[in-house]
Structure 1
Amino acid sequence: MAMTTLALVGTSLGGAMAQTPLSVGILIPGSKTDKGWMESGYDGLVAAQKKYGDKIAVQMIENINYADMEQALTQLASSNALVIGVGGQTQAAVMKIAKRFPDIKFSIVGGNAGAELPNVAGYDVKQAEIAFVAGAAAAMLSKSGAVSYVGGMELPSIVNAGKEFGNGAKYVNPNIKYFEAYTGDFDDLAKAKEATLTAIAQGADVHYHILNLGLRGMEQAAKEKGTHIIGSYTNYCGTDPLYLAYSITGVGFQVKYAIDETIGGTWKAGYKPFGLAMGPEASDMAVCNATDEMAKKLKAIIEDIKSGKIKVLEG
């Protein structure tokens, strides 16, 4: 378990104490450099620090096991006014610890409607929505007529995103082949590589994921076999030819949102859906070298999801 204090809690200014900063504790269960969910969350934290400077003091814990989450959250809640759990996998522990700290605000990035305590906010990134769009993009980009998805833990939101990725691909190409697998671990490189290689052996040439460090395994498989990936969470187009597109799922946007709302005095407990309805910062699709026709079609699909014409699963 790695803990980092990213700002001082008290600041002296001209012999007098400056206004006490908002103390923020953030739990990033994986690596803040995973090129995925965790890194997106960390990017949102960095954006908030740039915006607020010494108005916030941050304590961060990263890279912890599932079994250690309650201990980590207890530590953060003991010394911070706002505690943010980055990932739906933190929700069970947050719900338990929040009861012991009723005066502390807790925000779960990737939370679902089960977050129903007076001091807990659950922010739903609505991964299934953008996974449908990613599936549509994958079908347009695939040359073999086969695409694949690898998820980590079989949480409802992760499974629903996988189903909708397949549905999006079939929406564009009803005859497309779709392969879906789960590793049981967001960070297991070997299992993610094995699942990707299995899909490649069956013809898949474009892959999508909800993984953390396990993404490295998918990258290894794709590099070895000459296939490509649709990345998640942040638009890194132009940085790696392995990636044809990125689904933007606003993890960092929600981390910053929790801090913005707390500083602004407008933080509210309860479930809040984000997704496509919240705009491109919260959810969007970036195809790195999209044709005008492709961009137009994907935009139409996004609008049809927002209007309810295309219905997708929760999560």
Structure 2
Amino acid sequence: MKIAVFFVGEIHDAGFNASALAGAQAAAADGLAEITIVSGASYDQTDIRQRMTAILPEQDGLVFIGGQGDIATPDMAAAFPEKRFALVQGSQTGPNLASYDVRQEDSAFLAGCLAARLTKTGTVAHLSGHRVPPGLKGRAAFAAGVAHADPSVRVLTGFCGTQDDSAVTYRWASAQIEQGADILFTMLNGARAGAVRACRERGMLQIGNALDWVERDPEVFIASAIARIDTGVRRAIEDMVAGEVPGHIVEFGLAQGEFVALSLGADIPAPLASEIDAFADGIRRGRILLPRAYDGAEFTLDEMPCDAPQ
């Protein structure tokens, strides 16, 4: 079976795309299907649709990586009913369209709990790029985690409009530092480098996401909200090859297994690590329920909070 795995933005981004690519490559190495990697599409929906339309005639199926696919992929699935489609980090289903969601929000909640416990200024920050469902759910969960651990802690949260432009994220992270934040949770792709530079220059600590950033840069990262996007990609390919189209969103979170986790730096005290484990167990057992939306104040680059768009 010929399957295209479709990426938006930088593919070697040390983030979601990199994890997804590892899953696609592992599936190809195991001989599950003939995998074609399609990368570098812009975030423009017209470009996405044109590139999908161009490659689909040569493929039996397409796996779209990222929440951007929620808009175009259902239309493509309807236009090509003889082919199979899957969304990883998506929220749409259909007769020939499946969705798989690695619950980044579970580990984002734990990141919020940790940030609230560690902040010395009483202000923490979140920075992401595009307002796609996985990013919005992750932001909501991080803010909820902060409030769960210490409701007195202030959260500066914003979407800077890019996942790959490090100059933009450097300015945003710097602005959040100037407003008093001493811990930053980033949900970014290639643009994380700009936030890292700001943190390194100003002595701010950071919590990463998707991959284990504690291993990569322990000087800046005190933790990382790991999300095994590769597992969602592999499952999507396996189901597609088997001809299975789940009628519900297939989730991979703490309740389903070790698909997400909060990696902790070596300096995190053992009692705090145990507390984070207890919070994780609360999610796993359904005692802690995570919100899907955030309705608080929004941080903007001009440093003036405004009401978050609904």
Task: Show the counterpart of 2:262.
Answer: 285
Which range moved further: 150-159 or 34-43?
150-159
Percent identical among aligned pairs is 27
Does 2:227 match 1:249?
A: yes
Does 2:136 match 1:159?
A: yes
Provide Cα deviations, 1:223-253, integer angstroms capped at 9, x if missing partner.
2212122111122432212222111222111
Distance, in Å, in 2 between the alignment partners of 1:269 and 1:100 is 19
Task: Show the counterpart of 1:49.
Answer: 28
Query: Which of 109, 120, 130 is the matching residue for 2:107?
Result: 130
Task: Show the counterpart of 2:250.
Answer: 272
The aligned amino acid for 1:184 is: G
Give how far 1:269 is off: 4.6
Kept in 1: contact 2:63–2:237 (CA 8 A): no
The aligned amino acid for 1:104 is: K
Distance, in Å, in 2 between the alignment partners of 1:262 and 1:155 is 24
Q: How does 1:223-242 map to 2 (within 5 A)?
A: 223-241=200-218, 242=220
The answer for unaligned runs of 5 or more in structure 1 is 1-21
Q: How does 1:187-198 map to 2 (within 5 A)?
A: 187-198=164-175
Query: Which of 140, 152, 160 is the matching residue for 1:175?
Result: 152
Does 2:67 match 1:110?
A: no
Provide Cα deviations, 1:8-59, integer angstroms capped at 9, x if missing partner.
xxxxxxxxxxxxxx2110111021221111111111112223333xx52221
Distance, in Å, in 1 between the alignment partners of 2:273 and 2:101 is 26
The aligned amino acid for 1:230 is: I
Kept in 2: contact 1:117–1:270 (CA 8 A): no
Does 2:74 match 1:95?
A: yes
The aligned amino acid for 2:197 is: Q
Does 2:43 match 1:75?
A: no
Kept in 2: contact 1:76–1:83 (CA 8 A): no
Task: Show the counterpart of 1:59.
Answer: 36
Give how far 1:268 is off: 2.9
Quickly say closer, same or farther: Cα 1:81–1:215, change in 2 above 3 A: same
Does 2:177 match 1:209?
A: no
Q: How does 1:9-28 map to 2 (within 5 A)?
A: 22-28=1-7
Distance, in Å, in 2 between the alignment partners of 1:228 and 1:189 is 17
Task: Show the counterpart of 1:39.
Answer: 18
Quickly say closer, same or farther: Cα 1:180–1:140, change in 2 above 3 A: same
Give how far 1:267 is off: 4.6
Does 2:310 match 1:309?
A: no
Q: Per the alignment, in what secondary structure is the counterpart of residue 133 of structure 1?
A: helix
Distance, in Å, in 1 between the alignment partners of 2:122 and 2:289 is 24
Quickly say closer, same or farther: Cα 1:56–1:73, change in 2 above 3 A: same
Task: Show the counterpart of 1:19.
Answer: none
Distance, in Å, in 2 between the alignment partners of 1:187 and 1:239 is 19
* TM-score, length of structure 2 as denominator length: 0.86
Give how far 1:156 is off: 4.1
Provide Cα deviations, 1:47-78, integer angstroms capped at 9, x if missing partner.
223333xx522211111112311122223322
Give how far 1:261 is off: 2.4
Task: Show the counterpart of 2:300.
Answer: none
Give how far 1:266 is off: 4.1
Distance, in Å, in 2 between the alignment partners of 1:170 and 1:271 is 28
Count of matched residue pairs: 289
Provide Cα deviations, 1:59-114, integer angstroms capped at 9, x if missing partner.
111111123111222233222222111000122111111111112111111111xx
Kept in 1: contact 2:255–2:283 (CA 8 A): no
